[in-house]
Structure 1
Amino acid sequence: MTSLTTIGFDADDTLWHNETVFRLTQDRFADLLRDHADPDHLMERLLAAERRNLGHYGFGVKGFVLSMIETAIEVTEARVPASTIATLLEAGREMLRHPVDLLPGVEQTVRALAADYTLVMITKGDLLDQERKLAESGLGELFDGIEIVSEKTRETYLRAFSQHGEGPERALMVGNSMRSDVLPAIEAGAWGVYCPSELEWALEAAEPPEGAARYRRIETLADLPALVAGLR
């Protein structure tokens, strides 16, 4: 077995809470539009807008806010009050100011693995927001490489693990997204470790690659050091 030298970490909902902030804002959005759309229908329309807009706005708070505004215009037939749009814009600014809240066991796990492995953070999202969260997390010094990308594909992992390590064959990627963190990492030749989060964004869901030789699942990030030890 090829020895492991490099570990890639997703950030949002792997290192720190993220989806909870989005859900709270979605609840506020539903309350603002309660006279125009049933909450379940509104969330379906919002998800459809997010799916349409990913190629234009990418991942992150800014694209989310624009999708909320677009959805509000649609469900009100272009009669949404300016005050509602202003409230949504302020909600987005609040999200961008939200303090970083590390998930349980994250700091201990990352510090323990940093002693023996090359660590790379590979995350999607808005560049400024992800840089802010990393700086506020207190984990920045523990990573040997930082990759903030617009999408995570096989080519993303081939490049990242070759640039910051010794290639994907000697690398592992851990994250809460089956679609972005696990499947393309395995396709690139790395280990893909799924660490589920409490909340999952529908656009990141995918079927697990059961039977794949390099697929593993852990319940919390605190389980990662023991898993890694068994892969040496």
Structure 2
Amino acid sequence: MIFYTAVGNRVEEDSGRFVVRVGEQEKVLSEMETMIWAALTRSVCEEANVHSQMYRLLCIALGKEKAMEWADEEDFRFCLNRLVRRGLVARCEGETKEEALFFLFQRAVLKPICYSFSDRMRNFTDSLAMGKGIKFALRAFQKPTFSYEEHKVFTQIVKNGTISDHLCSLQKETQKVPVAEKQKEEILEQVSQEYLRILVSLYKKKQLVISCIREEGGLEAKERMAAVV
């Protein structure tokens, strides 16, 4: 299955342009690109559902009548592919969302999200506008609950968000274990998978954002983990 998720952070500008920072670059989005990127922000969406997710956002922003005018399938597909080429949306594959993120995160640079009061208020009002109810909307003001392992990994990401660096560190630590080589490989698979599971959990809790996707790396790790995910 193919999934999509947004990459980068929005940059506040007085010019009225919609600008997203991906890594060290700032990129300006068109109106349609903005809607697609916003629909995929901090979420992982199956390919077949991306258009409908964007359409729901358009209905909130413009109303149903104008949303139908905007939601042209051909324009949508062109802009989605352009966002992928520009590194503003990541395309990933897997049997599940979690598996797709496992493979994607191995090439990712992640950053912790720091919510301001205005961010939380916007999330609150957006949830109400989408009809999710007051109880769900109030979650915007709740502090996340971390397990010990999640807090440990989150702290690591604050210091260094390049996931391949952390996976390499796990590999080095595994090499020090006094067991047979085959057992070392099995241990590495287990600890790498668990580390990526924690990252996925933090991402689902909306505590991490993908800063950018690195072109190199990840292939060997993907092949190594394919047997266990």
TM-score between both structures, scaled by the size of structure 1: 0.29
TM-score between both structures, scaled by the size of structure 2: 0.30
